[in-house]
Structure 1
Amino acid sequence: MILAVRDEAKGRRTVAELTAEQPDARLEVRHLDLADLDSVRTFAQRVHADHQHLDVLINNAGVMAPPRSLSAQGHELQFACNHLGHFALTGLLLDLLTAGRNPRVVTVSSINHRQGRLRFDDLAGERGYAPMAFYNQSKLANAVFGRELHRRLTEAGSPVRSLLAHPGYTATNLQMSGPVGLWRVVFGRIGNPLFAQPPDRGALPQLYAATEPEVESGAFIGPDGPAELRGGPTRVRLSPTAADAETGRRLWEVSERLTDVRFALAAAAQRPPAP
């Protein structure tokens, strides 16, 4: 397992904790900043140098509702980290995934994707920025990407499955480290104690999507409790916008242009899986 982290010291501490419980675990820590496309390319190059195949890619990096800021390449930070970095990373690693065993890509979205709107005429928020609105946009982009990737993989005859997952309302530091002002109070100090589930429960939908043998490509997995806030993993619905093929095509083309990454789907589909 490769732990792709922004903070390598925290990554090494996590590895120490995991190996204390599972001494036979084979874990690697590698630096990756999903908000920086140069970092994404460097990470992908190093993975290619050291590995012949990958079985699962989980796209779960995220920032939530910060003040408006731009990535190293000049993109709005939430759209850059939560979507563009995942799009680029998936495309750059697709050949290794195609060679994997039962390969799949799991992209983590949110309940909030249903409130999102893709501002194709102002993705960077130059004409108006609201922290939560642009967070919701990035989570909708996750959902649109995961579904469009499923369509394209299927059409190409690729063995790779594309799945989506969301953690419900989970008590992590996302709500405390990202949002500013009132949003931090609402989500972190009030929402977390009252409504959120612990992180080990919130991780279940993406673990299910990553490991369940029979889960179908294109499925969206989330908690089975009321309003999908908490509970065990089950298949849940995508918003009509996320499932719309024309929206998927448009976002894909924009993402290719902004990342300069093209998916070699036809060639990748022909590559034999690893033994």
Structure 2
Amino acid sequence: MREQWTTANIPDQRGRVAVVTGANTGLGYETAKALAERGASVVLAVRDVEKGEQAAARMTGDVTVQALDLTSLDSVRTAAATLRSRLGRLDLLVNNAGVMYTPKQTTRDGFEMQFGTNHLGHFALTGLLLDLMLPVPGSRVVTVSSTGHRIRAAIRFDDLHWQRSYSRTAAYGQSKLANLMFTYELQRRLAAHGTTVAVAAHPGVSNTELIRNTPTALRLPVTWLAPLITQTPAMGALPTLRAATDPAALGGQYYGPGGRYEVKGHPRLVTSSPQSYEAAVQQRLWAVSEDLTGVRFPIADSGQSPSPAGSAPAA
């Protein structure tokens, strides 16, 4: 019988410092709450500070709040500078915040909203905080993707920001595919350092505020079916928590629900789509992301082939 990993499996987190984006609600809230309960010092990096303070007040442990708007590179840089001045070290960065199926719109920097928020904002934040992590043995960058990375997904280098046409579903798929490609390429570059690792996770289908932008034609069916096809945010956060805390987790791995079609269930190792492992596309996406954000990571490209650590599922 497959192991049922729960929050009871989270090791003691005392002494660890964690930053969780989008932690005032949903998956991020449950992730931060569980880490704090196990003793970590947790920073809720959120766009709405008032809601962040309200969320922190409902948690037990050492929890603080940091303003972060991933739709603005200025905000990302300000937040990173503040965190660098506040924190002497960083053990865990959870790139959790995201938007889903938004109408056509752009970030403050002119990026398509889903790609700009879900991928580019987190790419920049990670690059600006990584030197707090590199000296810390066992430190991890965990980025939350989605099964949506398989749906009409591709990295559209010829029109990343959907200026010629727009599909909210395909744009979401692109952003979530980018999350995985970023994780795999980041792990390749981190491998030579031997301290920090990059891991990915997805929550299956969780009943969170993300579904508020579901296209009108699907909204009613989704609402009716939600009790049958979704799981709670607490369950949806488990793959992220396992990626963040399981001592056996390796860089380049991907965790998701263990039930049928990875919709719900307790977390286990899963695999992502074949195209997500395409090294040349990962590297091209990295270069484009550096150019768009102006952020350069404090790690050199070793030139080594990507590790296939996430390519085989296990119990």
When normalised by structure 1's length, the TM-score is 0.91
Within the alignment, does 1:217 sit opposite 2:251 as a pair? yes
User: Are residue 74 (structure 1) and residue 115 (structure 2) matched?
Assistant: no
Q: Does residue 52 of structure 2 align to residue 11 of structure 1? A: yes
CA RMSD of aligned residues (A): 1.3
1:195 aligns with 2:229: yes
Letter of the aligned partner of 1:240 in structure 2? P
Given residue 135 of structure 2, which amino acid in structure 1 is its aligned partner? Answer: A
In 2, Cα distance between equivalents of 1:110 and 1:239: 11
Who is 2:217 aligned against? 182
Task: After superposition, give the CA deviation of every residue in 1:165-196 in whole Å (9 maximum; x if it has no partner).
Answer: 000000011102x3342243344x13422200
Aligned to 1:32: 68
1:129 and 2:163 aligned: no
Residues 246 and 266 of structure 1, relative CA distance in 2, 3 Å threshold: closer
5 Å-filtered alignment, 1:201-240, equals: 201-240=235-274
- Could you say which residue in structure 2 is the equivalent of 1:86? 122
In structure 1, how many angstroms separate the alpha carbons of the residues matched to 2:150 and 2:277? Answer: 11
Q: Which sections of structure 1, spanning at least 5 residues, go unmatched?
A: 268-275
Instruction: Quote the Cα distance in structure 2 between the aligned partners of 1:33 and 1:191.
Output: 32
Partner Cα separation in structure 2 for residue 30 and residue 186 of structure 1: 37
Per-residue deviation, residues 27-51 of structure 1 (Å, max 9, x unmatched): 1111101111111000000001111
1:112/1:139 contact within 8 Å kept: yes
| Cα contact 1:158–1:265 (8 A) shared by 2 | no
* Structure 2 residue matching 1:148: 3-state secondary structure: helix
Does the CA-based 8 Å contact 1:131-1:179 persist in structure 2? no
Change (3 A) 1:209 1:246: same
User: Contact conserved, 1:108 with 1:142, CA < 8 A, in 2?
Assistant: yes
Match in the other structure for 1:107: 143
Q: d(CA) in 2 for partners of 1:191 and 1:247?
A: 36
The 1:183–1:261 alpha-carbon spacing in structure 2 relative to 1, beyond 3 Å, is: farther
May I ask how many residue pairs the two structures share in their alignment?
259
How far off its partner does 1:99 sit? 2.5
Q: Contact between 2:134 and 2:193, CA under 8 Å: does it hold in 1?
A: no
Q: TM-score, normalised by structure 2?
A: 0.80
Structure 1 distance, partners of 2:169, 2:218, is 8
Specify which of 272, 275, 293 is matched with residue 241 of structure 1.
275
| Alignment equivalent of 1:160, drawn from 173, 196, 218 | 196
For 2:188 and 2:225, locate their aligned partners in 1 and report how far apart those are by CA, in whole Å. Answer: 36
Q: Indicate the SS of the match to 2:255.
A: strand
Measured after TM superposition, the shift of residue 245 of structure 1 is 0.6
